[in-house]
Structure 1
Amino acid sequence: MDFVLHRASSIETTSGLSESRLHLVQIWILGLATILWLCFRASPALLTILLILVCSHAVTGYWDTRVAYPTRAIRPVEQHVHSILDIAPWVAVGAVYWFMPDRHMGAALTFEPAPLAMWLFAIVPALLLTVFPALVEFRRCLSFRAL
């Protein structure tokens, strides 16, 4: 939805590459968090790393808004979509915490990849609904800049 709103507001003619790059950074941060979640068993160590990544995502999201705000109007519907995008990673980290084993665990990460179905469930929608639209947006911004 966010990329549809960016297209409607003609992001390529306003904040352009600056904002679009930040979208790719945010996606990369959460993509890394997702890969780590899929590769390692829930533990205090994983939770700590995920919290750092989610905080990084939040800071980058704030930076993204600071870049966009002076150059284009951020309509209420887009602000609402951003609210959902801001809170979703925190909810995901809460879910990791919720599923941490009750028994005492060491601080080390334990490599325990999730089943293939879980990888597909997490990665395929992310690619189709987030990565691909972000790359299309970035290409649009890059093409406009080249004109």
Structure 2
Amino acid sequence: MLQTNQLLIQLMLYVFLPLWGIAGFVDWCCHRATRIEHTSGLKESLIHSLMGIQMAVPILLCLLFKVNVLIMLICIAAWLAHELVAHYDVHYAAPKRHISLWEMHAHNYLATLPLYMLLLIAVINYPVVVKLLTFNWQGEFYFQRMPYAHGGDTYLPYYLGFMAVVCVLPYMEENLRCLKVALKQRKVNA
């Protein structure tokens, strides 16, 4: 079982997490191509940032701390919130701008990968899921730092650097681009 868990952890660390970042970058490219700053604007761009934060929190918690009932509850709540916001995002954006086939494919990955990761976390931490479902939560509400980050001491800095390049910086640029246009339009309308 331990070897299977290690393989599942490796799958998440080296396939699912990077793939999620790449899908986010493709999504950003699609937003840029449709000139989001002139269509759905700052509101949609901020929604994208919110969704990134909604997934970043549980990812970091699982990379830094031992998974217990508290962490599992946070992961489930973050996933549910992400799903609600993602639905609202498409509902808001669809009438305002073209959503290309590439963007729809990126959304497929952005929506399914968090679910797959949540399910793998549940499988790897099956005893925690049993405690969660049986409401055996006594002593489960704490953060216990892992003696090492999953993937060794070097994984987290490399992963955070990768995500900064493919997601954080591009979406910050999108927010700034949309903010500039929104401010310019506000001046014109004033």
User: Same-fold call, TM > 0.5?
Assistant: yes
Do residues 63 (structure 1) and 96 (structure 2) align? Answer: no
> More displaced, 93-102 or 46-55?
93-102
RCO higher in structure (CA 8 A, sep ≥6): 1
Residue aligning to 2:157: 120
* Inter-partner Cα distance in structure 1 for 2:127 and 2:42: 46
Summarize deviations over 1:104-138 as a string: whole Å, max 9, x none: 87533341234232322432222111111100011
Q: In structure 2, what is the equivalent of residue 108 of structure 1? A: 141
Cα drift, residue 63 of structure 1:
1.2
**1:10-49, aligned counterparts within 5 Å?**
10-49=35-74
Residue 88 (str. 1) matches residue 113 (str. 2): yes
Give the letter for the 2:145 counterpart: E
Residue of 74, 92, 97 corresponding to 1:72 = 97
Partner residue in 2 for 1:5: 30
CA distance in 2: counterparts of 1:109 and 1:95, whole angstroms: 21
| Paired residues of 2:51 and 2:85 also in contact (CA < 8 A) | yes
Give 1:98's aligned residue.
123
Larger Rg: 2
Amino acid at match of 1:59: L
Q: Distance in 2 between matches of 1:137 and 1:77?
A: 18
- Where 2:83 maps in the other structure, the secondary structure is helix
**Structure 2 unmatched runs, 5+:** 1-25, 132-138, 185-190
Distance 2:119 2:159 in 1: 17
Greater shift in the superposed pair: 29-38 or 7-16: 29-38
- Structure 1 runs of 4+ aligned residues shifted over 6 Å read none
How many pairs were matched up? 147
Unpaired runs of 5+ residues, structure 1, are none
Q: Which amino acid aligns with 2:46?
A: R
* Aligned counterpart, 2:180: 143
8 Å Cα contact 1:20/1:141 also seen in 2: yes
CA distance in 2, matches of 1:19, 1:9: 13
TM-score (norm 1): 0.89
CA distance in 1, matches of 2:94, 2:106: 15
